[in-house]
Amino acid sequence: MHKSVLDILKMKKEGKKISVITSYDYTLASLCDKADIDILLVGDSAGMVMLGYENTIPVTMDQMCLFTEAVSRARKNSLLVADLPFMSYQTNIDDAIRNSGRLIKAGADAVKLEGGSVMAETISAIVDVGIPVMGHIGLQPQTTMLSQGYKVQGKTKDIAMKLIDDAKELEEAGVFSIALEMVTHEVAEIISETISVPTIGIGSGKGCDGQVLVVQDLLGMYDKLEPKFVKKYMNLSEDIVKALENYKTDIESGSFPAQENYFSMDDEELKKLREEIGR
């Protein structure tokens, strides 16, 4: 039985740190699940990491459902949360509920959406129909990047107070957790101590109740964007390129495939075949 939202809430009460990995495909999600990661997040960052977009804006609901289905087939232990992509929930509440339902049907246990107090009514409506929601404040890639660019959030008192108020309103709206992206660690710690639901930090310091990284970043497989908050536990890009170069060399030299890599006929059957075709 995989983890539930209640299990995640219990971890906060017990003071246990929550591990979250953003994953988009069956193969890597299977490995994350075997590692007993608490939450698998199917992020709309798949648009950049998997599809090569410049940002998350072009990502569609159909694409998010496809990635969610792939990860859902892989997980056995983790809670699965899927992002609602840009403009799938901002237009009206009916759209937000309908599209949240699509992600649940695709295999998610909960959905995540960006926005503070302005999204409280929408979140409440989604929760009211029985779909758990993870909030997301601080840097919001779907919208903040359009107006402010890639900037740390919560550096001034006024902005810090707005983030704290947003977190409180999201908690009141019924979220089971809140992602804090690129929030100053002091403000993230205050929010984590103020609200009863878990906070998941994305470059927001160790005071959060949990942390999240994209699995390709953690493994050193995605070098296009390297935020300060990413910790590389491996550098697989170099290893993968080297392996592919070795593969190409083996083909060119004729050392691959070797005898152990292909199949052979029975000697007697081969003899009959050669006699039949005259070779």
For the chain, give every domain's residue range.
5-234, 239-277
Closest to 22 (Cα-Cα) out of 48, 42, 6:
42
Residue with the bigger pLDDT between 279 and 214: it is 214
Work out the mean pLDDT of the chain and round it to a whole number: 95
Mean pLDDT of 71-83: 98
Residue with token string 């599809």 = 51
Mean pLDDT of 82-89: 98
Tokens 């199917």, residue? 42
| Both tokens assigned to 88 | 């799938």
**What gap in Å lies between CA 75 and CA 73, rounded to an integer?**
6
Element (H, E) at 50: none
Residue 181 bears catalytic tag: yes
Could you report the per-residue pLDDT of 152-168, keeping only the tens digit for each? 999 999 999 999 999 99
Which token pair is 267? 């000697």
CATH tag, 5-234: 3.20.20.60
Query: How far is residue 196's CA from residue 190's CA, in Å, rounded to a whole number?
Result: 12
Nearest to 56 by CA among 162, 145, 128, 132: 145
Gyration radius from the chain CA atoms: 23
Question: Can you give the pLDDT at residue 145?
Answer: 66
Buried b (16+ CB within 10 A) or exposed e, 125-135: bbbeeebbbbb
pLDDT of residue 230: 86
- Of the ranges 106-115, 150-159, 248-257, which one carries the lowest mean pLDDT score? 150-159
With a cut of 90, say whether residue 146 has pLDDT above it. Answer: no
pLDDT band at residue 278, thresholds of 50, 70 and 90? confident
Is 77 a residue whose pLDDT tops 90? yes
pLDDT at 147: 63
Residue 61's nearest CA partner among 41, 89, 20 is 89
Q: With cut-offs at 50, 70 and 90, classify the pLDDT of residue 199.
A: very high
Residue 51 DSSP label: T
- Does residue 87 contact residue 70 with C-beta atoms inside 8 Å? no
Q: Give me the percent of the chain exceeding a pLDDT of 70.
A: 97
What three-state secondary structure class fits 61? Answer: helix
User: N- to C-terminal Cα distance for the chain?
Assistant: 61
| H-helix segments, 37-178 | 46-49, 61-74, 93-105, 120-128, 144-147, 157-173
Which pLDDT value is given to residue 225? 65
State mean pLDDT over 126-135. 98
pLDDT computed for residue 109 by the predictor? 98
Query: Would you say residue 202 has pLDDT above 90?
Result: yes
pLDDT beyond 90 at 229? no
Give the model's pLDDT for residue 150: 72
pLDDT > 90 fraction of the chain, expressed in percent and rounded? 92
Spatial distance between the Cα atoms of 44 and 24, rounded to a whole number of angstroms:
9
Cα–Cα separations (whole angstroms), residue 261 to 55, 241, 256, 257, 264? 42, 22, 8, 5, 10
**Residue 19 pLDDT more than 70?**
yes
Annotated catalytic residue, options 181, 186, 193, 226: 181
Average pLDDT over residues 76-80: 98
Average pLDDT over residues 237-256: 96
pTM confidence score: 0.93
Which residues sit opposite 235 in a β-bridge?
A: none
